[in-house]
């Protein structure tokens, strides 16, 4: 793990950029995809599971970054009243979707589908791992984090995506941009943020500081591909 801190205006601003190794949990993934043990689907998926894991281990390099930024005007009172924002980005430059689509178009539908799902799960695991680091850092600073927010989550307008990305890129160099539809490039990327508030501030905070609690259960975007329906601890 490679972590960097930068000094600005005689104050340490946390700007972290590091690489994470993809983590794969077969039991969790099969449960998430409703692949029941003993079925033909389970036997089929298990027969090439190790092969897919090898592809991901060799080609999927996950880059994660987070930085404290000035408060953005996102139209959410909990965020707009914070001391700072912590913007987070997790991405894989390896084009999983292209490989997955090539597999499916050549008749290997299950293999291509499983490749995409395993890679997506590994990206979400990396995000959770980074969130634990952030919460650990902020836990000793006299501040705490709100729950996680993202553009298009049903609370923040999707058109705020560019503003959030631009704010992050002012602090740390991330290789990402948006396409004409405001979707992130690379395709397999996650961009989100937390608010940073003093621990002794009054008022209700909708976030849960217990890392065992999945924040996905609080998100209104039920179509998010990274949603954890089972609220499982990773």
User: pLDDT digit string (tens) for 207-229?
Assistant: 444 433 345 544 555 555 445 54
Domains annotated on the chain, with CATH: 6-218 (3.40.109.40)
* Separation of alpha carbons 112 and 109, rounded Å: 5
**Under 8 Å between Cβ of 165 and 171:** no
**Ramachandran assignment for 126, one of left (phi > 0), alpha (psi -120 to 50 degrees), beta (any other):** alpha
* Separation of alpha carbons 79 and 23, rounded Å: 31
Three-class secondary structure of residue 133 per DSSP: helix
Looking at the DSSP bridge assignments, the partners of residue 92 are 62
* Separation of alpha carbons 169 and 59, rounded Å: 25
Calculate the average pLDDT of the chain: 80
User: pLDDT digit string (tens) for 39-81?
Assistant: 999 999 999 999 999 999 888 889 999 999 999 999 999 999 9
């Amino acid at each position: 793990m490679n972590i960097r801190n930068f000094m600005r205006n005689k104050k340490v601003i946390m700007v972290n950029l590091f690489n994470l190794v993809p983590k794969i949990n077969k039991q969790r993934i099969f449960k998430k995809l409703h692949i029941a043990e003993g079925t033909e689907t389970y036997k089929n998926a298990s027969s090439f599971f190790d092969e897919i894991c090898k592809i991901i281990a060799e080609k999927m390099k996950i880059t994660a970054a987070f930085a404290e930024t000035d408060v953005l005007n996102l139209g959410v009172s909990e965020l707009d009243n914070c001391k700072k924002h912590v913007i987070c980005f997790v991405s894989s430059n390896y084009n999983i979707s292209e490989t997955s689509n090539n597999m499916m178009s050549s008749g290997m539908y299950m293999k291509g589908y499983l490749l995409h799902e395993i890679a997506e799960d590994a990206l979400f695991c990396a995000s959770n791992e980074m969130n634990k680091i952030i919460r650990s850092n902020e836990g000793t600073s006299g501040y705490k984090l709100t729950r996680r927010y993202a553009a298009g989550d049903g609370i923040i307008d999707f058109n705020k995506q560019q503003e959030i990305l631009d704010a992050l890129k002012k602090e740390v160099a991330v290789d990402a941009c948006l396409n004409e539809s405001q979707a992130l490039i690379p395709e397999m990327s996650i961009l989100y943020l937390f608010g940073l508030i003093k621990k002794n501030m009054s008022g209700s905070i909708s976030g849960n500081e217990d890392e065992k609690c999945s924040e996905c259960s609080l998100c209104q975007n039920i179509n998010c591909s990274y949603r954890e329906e089972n609220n499982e601890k990773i």
